[in-house]
Amino acid sequence: MVILTLNCGSSSAKYQVYDWDNKDVLASGQVERVTIEGSQITHQAKGRDEYVRQSPCPTHKEAVELIINTITAPDVGVIKDMSVIKAVGHRLVHGGSKFTKSVVITPEVLDAFRQLSDLAPLHNPANILGVEGAQKVLPGVPHCAIMDTAWHQTMPDTAYMYALPWEWYEKFGVRRYGFHGTSFLYTAKRAAVLLGRKPSDTNLIIAHIGNGASICAVKNGVCVDTSMGMTPLEGLVMGTRSGDVDPAIPFFVMRKTGMNIDQIDEILNKKSGLLGISGKYADMRDIQSAIAAGDKRSKLVFDMECYRIKKYLGSYVGAIGRVDAIVFTAGIGEFGWESRAGICAGLEPLGIVLDPQKNKLARTRNAETLISTDGSPVKIFVIPTDEELVMTEDAYALMKGTYDVHTNFTYTFQSPDYVNKARAEGLVKDLKKTPDLARILAK
């Protein structure tokens, strides 16, 4: 049985083709720069060289078509035709209060997601286009929605409510929802394995740091707070998003400049964050290169990002009490040793002690690594996320009728014996290049 997962972001479309019977990834990849000039697909099939092809994708419809054509192509594909696919898992960023767990997509469900689009304007419309495109090609198989917000449904009202008029909550659903839920679910379950504990016995602080970034407090295995809010705009400094700001600032600027609501919304979501301060770069790799060249504004925004994460991390220590581990994940979290060093600097009084040499070694997506000192009371893990696997397992369980909320459901990757076959092959190559990597493997 083969399951396809689609994760359509604001300007990208990730995918994975998974052989459920053999628990193996047949292919994975990403279409980058969707809606932007220079779109291309990067496709990695098991046992083959990476395949890259440029192809215009003015919308997500073309991106989905490009993915389908690639995975079925005679020369680079991994399946004969789309009839092999028996279920499709789709990432839907915002489920609002309507959806508290993964669901099979019906016309009514899809309409409900359309109504929620204004809560995640950069993501939900793109997610919906991915669903519609895939349904046209695969009308006869179940399509399943896996929500970023579902993981955070365990937050207490003291964490998810805003000190705003109660009517806004009742009439419009104004509250904290949180995002990156599939990533937090995966890394929380994996951290419990690495700690040798049940998920319900683990307290964690997880930092998902990429172009979009958020941090999550996990107490007794469930989310109790997170940095993103009603939309993905709140919280940390991100690639193009502002994160936390004084709510009076937009009104101040509107009065000064005559900008309208849509213009301010675009600036806060698409022209702020790393890009807003540096004036040039939305990608941390570019920021690091600029810092090396002496760019002061890039250094400033790097320090701002680290400081904001450190502030949240410290507050979450207070929120959950005992902390078993800090977890870094996503692009910057997995590869940005400079960011991890900046975030952890000065946290020794909280029992969080980073080993600088281990930290520099931890730059791989193929292994879970331990980068704290041997004597650190709180462990620091780098756990490469696997949102696609969560989506795959939810889709399979929904199709079989065995799915339930994560506190009542056991994922395959919760087993101490779990091995990601594709990453295991990659790790062998990494170890040949960097033998010292072996000493920081988390298990």
Q: Measured between alpha carbons, how far is 151 from 384 in angstroms, rounded to an integer?
A: 18
CB 189 within 8 A of CB 414: yes
Q: Are 359 and 376 in contact (CB under 8 A)?
A: no
What DSSP character marks residue 175? S
- Angle CA 425–427–429, to nearest 5: 80
Cα atoms in the 13 Å half-sphere on the side-chain side of 292 = 7
Strand pairing category for 85-92 and 143-147:
parallel
In 200-290, which ranges are E strands? 204-209, 213-219, 222-226
Comparing CA positions, the residue from 141, 306, 154 lying closest to residue 237 is: 306
Q: How many CB atoms lie within 10 A of CB 294?
A: 8
3-class secondary-structure state, position 422: helix
Starting at the edge strand found earlier in the chain, the sheet holding 325-329 runs: 222-226, 213-219, 204-209, 325-329, 379-382, 369-370
* 148 tagged catalytic: yes
Per annotation, catalytic residue among 19, 148, 386, 394: 148
**Sign of the dihedral defined by the CA atoms of residues 71, 77, 79, 80, in that order:** positive
User: Which positions are catalytic?
Assistant: 148
